[in-house]
Amino acid sequence: MNEQESRPSGSNSKKTNIKQGCLFIISAPSGGGKTTLSKALVDRFKDILYSVSYTTRPPRKGERNGVDYYFIPKKDFKKKIESGHWAEWAEVHGNYYGTPAVFLDKGLASGRDILLDIDVQGTLQILENYPDSVTIFIMPPSLETLKKRLEMRRTESRETIKRRLLTAEKEMAQKDLYRYVIVNDRLSVSIEKLIAIIERYRYPNTPEK
Ligand code: 5GP
């Protein structure tokens, strides 16, 4: 597959002759290490746009509005569902999460590659409109490891952890919907694997190491 074919084409790119950007989607169960991995990618590829999601869940300790998420009230989120504002949205663990369509379309049309960190439900919606997106699922080595990671984080109650583990099990069963699956056993190895996947699409003419 050459680079042109792997990218969504749109009328904007024809008008401006700018090659559309590529969408990379990373999903992982809560506690799967996805946030750390996404941050490593943003550090490595400074020009990739990281999509900061909107959510109705309250901020965790240390989370900043506009950096980790945009935190908005449920009623505002719902209004934006009605007005077709979201490229994708999902209800996860009783809270809403979404990605604005205008952010994706503007970024891609101007040739920027974009990194989305969203769940399986959101990935399926994005694939309907952006079928060439590069999808990557991060698997925890086991449910037991995931449970330990969630407990160590000390940000969630026992009940919430239980709920997140149930969701994780369901998400892991859907991993084959993704183009790539990385088992996140050792963080440094997973980061290398992720970088290699992204470089394959960004620099398709470079011989593989
Ligand atoms: P958390 O509350 O732990 O930050 O995230 C919970 C789940 O929501 C994670 O699986 C995360 O990937 C997902 N998520 C975060 N932002 C979005 C989004 O914009 N859309 C969708 N569909 N899921 C999201």
Looking at residues 35-51, what average pLDDT do you find? Answer: 92
**In sequence order, what DSSP letters do the residues of the chain get, joined into one string?**
--TTTTS---HHHHHH-PPPP-EEEEE--TTSSHHHHHHHHHHH-TTSEE-PPEE-SPPPTT--BTTTBEE--HHHHHHHHHTT-EEEEEEETTEEEEEEHHHHHHHHHTT--EEEE--HHHHHHHHHH-TT-EEEEEE-S-HHHHHHHHHHH--S-HHHHHHHHHHHHHHHTTGGGSSEEEE-SSHHHHHHHHHHHHHHHHSTTSPP-
Centre of ligand 1 to C-alpha 40, Å, is 18
Q: Identify the residue whose C-alpha is closest to ligand 1 atom 12.
A: 118
Give 160-207 pLDDT, tens digit per residue: 888 888 988 999 999 999 999 999 999 999 999 999 999 999 888 776
Give 108-158 pLDDT, tens digit per residue: 999 999 999 999 999 999 999 999 999 999 998 888 888 888 888 777 788
Q: Identify the residue whose C-alpha is closest to ligand 1 atom 4.
A: 30
Global pTM? 0.86
Looking at residues 60-70, what average pLDDT do you find? Answer: 93
Residues in the ligand 1 pocket, defined by CB under 6 Å: 30, 53, 57, 88, 90, 92, 97-99, 117-119, 121-122
Fold of 2-10+18-51+112-202: Rossmann fold (3.40.50)
